[in-house]
Amino acid sequence: MNLIRVLLWPISILYGWIVAIRNRCFDYGIFKSTSFASPLLIGVGNLTAGGTGKTPHVEYLVKLLAAYKIATLSRGYGRKTSGFLEANNDSTAMDIGDEPRQFRHRFPQHVCVAVDEKRVHGVNQLRQKYPDLDVVILDDVFQHRKIKPGLQILLTDYTRLFYNDQLLPTGLLRESKSGAARADIIIVTKTPNIFSPLERKRIIRELKPLPHQQIYFSTIRYGDFIPFGQKSTSAMLGRDYYFERGYTIVLLTGIANSQPLEFYLRDKAEKLITVRYKDHHQFSVADLQKLQTLFAEIPNEKKIILTTEKDAMRLDFPELREQLAGLPVHYIPIEITFHDKDTELFNQQILDYVRKNSGNSRIH
């Protein structure tokens, strides 16, 4: 433990006590926790402060449950609005947050995307607007104890498993490791593509799952580079085109953990230049002017600018698109897939839960 961690340790202890008292109040019914039988609620969250891959896992659930009428409900982190809002084609990241904006971008017709910092109120609003709603997927809800999902999914990053972490501010844990007991499913995310059975067994042993908990392992799958905006000068050539022809890639990110993407690109690109901002950073004209200068100074004529799909949602404003006009800007979508038989087992558990519990309209 370095000096900074030693100095912050007393704050972590105090923070841990406060969070523990709060959780006990919910556990013992002193604070009210509301559950719904209809629509069914599936929660996706983590114990750490960001970077575990919630967005692609929510999108995976949306596609898996395509046969049902579903909605996503998020806090809408970083938005400049408040209260309940339902996304539409004109919603921006400033209106609803970058992650909900991405959900709307990915599934413009299939799913209702809503935001509300008060999740119980948000679910009630959705119930009123869509009485036939089957499932609401609650994004980043693990610490929002005022609502109780019927199925709780906890994500933990393979590169920073929660049982090896410490409470804020010494580490990144939002609450004690014991909070994992509330999960029905634990997914170890961002695992390597090649993943040994021995490593799997070791992690499961360290996680110490309870009898009711199922453990799954997912990995990231990167998609093709997609030109950003209608004014992009680049055709849809695919990522291999740029990898095979010696392109320099300038990677612009404002996400919690860009290291897996950087590792992937560094292994394939001729040269990778990274421009990092903090998570959910709202890009400014000045930021993009600096990016333009950096890009112009790169001697390689074969060069592109790449960003994540989530960051692209925060670049999609007229004044920012104007700054990027004429530049070869692309974004790279990501999806998740599960290892080995986990795909079949996870899908079956989710679908069985929805089939067995849908149609019950009682609230308790």
pLDDT of residue 4: 75
pLDDT of residue 234: 46
Rounded CA Rg of the chain: 21
Is the separation of the CB atoms in 61 and 78 below 8 Å? no
pLDDT of residue 226: 94
d(CA 287, CA 275): 10
Is the separation of the CB atoms in 91 and 72 below 8 Å? no
Sequence spans of domains, the chain: 33-221+339-357, 224-332
Per residue of the chain (364 residues), what is the pLDDT tens digit?
A: 567 777 788 899 999 999 999 999 999 999 999 999 999 999 999 999 888 999 999 999 999 999 999 999 999 999 999 999 999 999 999 999 999 999 999 998 889 999 999 999 999 999 999 999 999 999 999 999 999 999 999 999 999 999 999 999 999 999 999 999 999 999 999 999 999 999 999 999 999 999 999 999 999 999 999 999 754 444 567 899 999 999 999 999 999 999 999 999 999 999 999 999 999 999 999 999 999 999 999 999 999 999 999 999 999 999 999 999 989 999 999 999 999 999 999 999 999 999 999 764 333 3
Beta bridge partners of 48: 173
3-state secondary structure the chain: CCHHHHHHHHHHHHHHHHHHHHHHHHHCCCCCCEEECCCEEEEEEECECCCCCHHHHHHHHHHHCCCCCEEEEECCCCCCCCCCEECCCCCCHHHHCHHHHHHHHHCCCCCEEEECCCHHHHHHHHHHHCCCCCEEEEECCCCCCCEECCEEEEEEEHHHCHHHCCECCCCCECCCHHHHHHCCEEEEECCCCCCCHHHHHHHHHHHCCCCCCEEEEEEEEECCCEECCCCCCCCCCCHHHHHHCCCEEEEEECCCCCHHHHHHHHCCCCEEEEEECCCCCCCCHHHHHHHHHHHHCCCCCCEEEEEEHHHHHHHCCHHHHHHHCCCCEEEECEEEEECCCHHHHHHHHHHHHHHHHCCCCCEC
Beta bridge partners of 335: 221
Instruction: Name the phi and psi angles at 350, rounded to 5.
Output: -65, -50
33-221+339-357 against 224-332: fold identical? yes
Instruction: Please tell me the CATH code under which domain 224-332 is placed.
Output: 3.40.50.2300
Instruction: Name the phi and psi angles at 270, rounded to 5.
Output: -60, -45
Beta bridge partners of 154: 45, 186
Which CATH superfamily, name and number, covers 33-221+339-357? Answer: P-loop containing nucleotide triphosphate hydrolases (3.40.50.300)
pLDDT of residue 233: 44
Instruction: Name the phi and psi angles at 117, rounded to 5.
Output: -65, -20
The pTM of this model reads: 0.93
Give the chain's length.
364
Cis peptide leading into residue 169 (ω within 30°): yes
Question: What's the gap between Cα 236 and its chain centre?
Answer: 26
